[in-house]
Amino acid sequence: MSLHGQYDPDNIFAKILRGEIPCVKVYEDEHVLSFMDIYPQAPGHTLVVPREPVRNALEMTDGALQAAIVRVKRIAKAVNTALKPDGIVITQFNGAPAGQTIFHVHFHIIPRMDGEALGRHGGGEADMDVLKEQAARIAAAIENP
């Protein structure tokens, strides 16, 4: 799907936001839901999904985007504290040609280690017990604003 089109309220992240599909939750409040990516590109790959029902960042209201990016930073700091990576990639894709596969706006927080190549986008499915353990450690490291 290019940048032009309609928001589909039955996309996977909309279903996760409504609680119709489970997720391994890291954090939630009135603005965002954060959970582990089940096809991680690196251990600790975390998603931050704004609740605003739009396809991409260009469609977000300024207020929702501001609230979301502050939470992305807070959760990225928690990933840093919990997992101690050598680096952290924060990405956000707009439209299929840009790499977007789920058309509800979201941010990726991907820990990177020296000398370890980034895994394939949407590669193998993670072990749920590992994801739960990572999510608990990240959640415990989130600081209050």
Residues labelled catalytic: 106
Q: Which amino acid is at 102?
A: I
First to last CA, the chain: 36
Residue 126 is a binding residue for ligand 5GP (CB under 6 A)? no
In angstroms, rounded to a whole number, what is the distance separating the alpha carbons of residues 41 and 118? 6
Nearest alpha-carbon partner for 124 in 5, 50, 39: 39
Residue 37 engages ligand 5GP in binding (rule: CB under 6 A) = yes
- What residue type is 58 in one-letter code? L
Which structure tokens are listed for 93?
């894709």
Q: Which of 120, 119, 110, 122 is closest to 86 using CA atoms?
A: 110
* Of the candidate residues 26, 27, 32, 35, the single one contacting ligand 5GP (CB under 6 A): 35
Under the criterion CB under 6 A, does residue 101 sit at the interface with ligand 5GP? yes
The reply on whether position 122 binds ligand 5GP by CB under 6 A is: yes
Q: Does 23 bind ligand 5GP (CB under 6 A)?
A: yes
Residue range at the interface with ligand 5GP (CB under 6 A); choices 2-10, 31-39, 56-64, 77-85: 31-39
Contacts with ligand 5GP: how many residues (CB under 6 A)?
12
**Site pattern 59..98 for ligand 5GP (x: CB under 6 A):** ----------------------------------x-----
Helix (H) or strand (E) holding 54: none
Give the residue with the Cβ less far from ligand 5GP, 102 or 139.
Answer: 102
For 7, half-sphere exposure in the C-beta direction (CA atoms, 13 angstrom radius) is: 14
Side chain identity at residue 5, one-letter code? G
Residues that bind ligand 5GP (CB under 6 A): 12, 23, 35, 37-39, 93, 99-102, 122
